[in-house]
Structure 1
Amino acid sequence: MVTRTAPTPEDERARFVERFGSSLTAAGFPRLPARVFACLLARDSGTLTAAELGEALAVSPAAVSGAVRYLETTRMIHREREPGSRRDVFVVADDAWHDVMINSSATYGPITATLREGVGLVGGRRTPAGHRLALSVEFLEFITEEMKGIATRWEERRARLG
């Protein structure tokens, strides 16, 4: 007979990290950055060093380095210097989703500029390709404008949440 012990809080946290990481991966995120993001979200402090991330996720320091670089690029986390130390800690903001979504202009700006330039390069708006690129520009500009209103409404709602 196998005796099972009740899962510890750390076991439950690890289970959540893997489950949420899998959800993000299914949505298109690279696997390890998804797990790193989930791991940081699930910590009360919202911070871990590269060594702590490696240990928590059973991955190499090199793998952690690539994952955090991806997450910093997407603005999902940021790096801080641990007070009184030379070690970096990786930090997820309490409102990380807000930061990622609201900074869409930083993401979409260069894409929109390139698409806008491409309209002329493929023969202008009257060509099927030019029309498609122009429509993409209009959509991304629309999304960027809408995000400003969403940000305002979220800040009002968050204030009500306390």
Structure 2
Amino acid sequence: MTLDQFDASVKTMLTSVTTMTLATSVDGRPWATDVYFAANGYELVFFSSAASRHCQNLLANSACAATVHPPAASWREIKGLQMEGMAEPVASVEATAHAFMVYFAKFPFARDLTLNPLELAKKAFEVSAHVFRPARIRYIDNALGFGTRFAIRLENGVPVGPPERERAADR
């Protein structure tokens, strides 16, 4: 698989699937939760309550993992992304505005919150924008053969080298 093919497969997945499972851990206690996300390149933007367990975990330990996959009715249809990286709240006003733009582009229904300024003001204090930045992405596609997996490493959101096919011993 070439980098262009890998990139196209990953971007198709990130565009077509609406939720990711975010896995966090603190003090040896793992936690996973599903969140809506929108992709900005390889970075994944999501909004969550600062009081939620996963956001509290991220404040203590920003290292995390995420999966993105469509439903599959048989093993032949299994495909998806397994990612490891870091997630953190978006810090600046400009970055938050950009996060909203990326999110609204994927989820136009979320714009309805902006129609009621009072409701928007309430929600603004309850949720905050976060970004997941993968350091490694593994693409799985059983349509290419059972257990077919390709992986890339990323530095600052840019692939480092071509995708590598993983062998069973690498998993």
Please, what TM-score do these two structures have when normalized by structure 1? 0.23
**Structure ranking higher on relative contact order (CA contacts 8 Å, 6+ apart):** 2
- Bigger radius of gyration among the two: 1
The structure richer in helix per residue is 1
The structure richer in strand per residue is 2
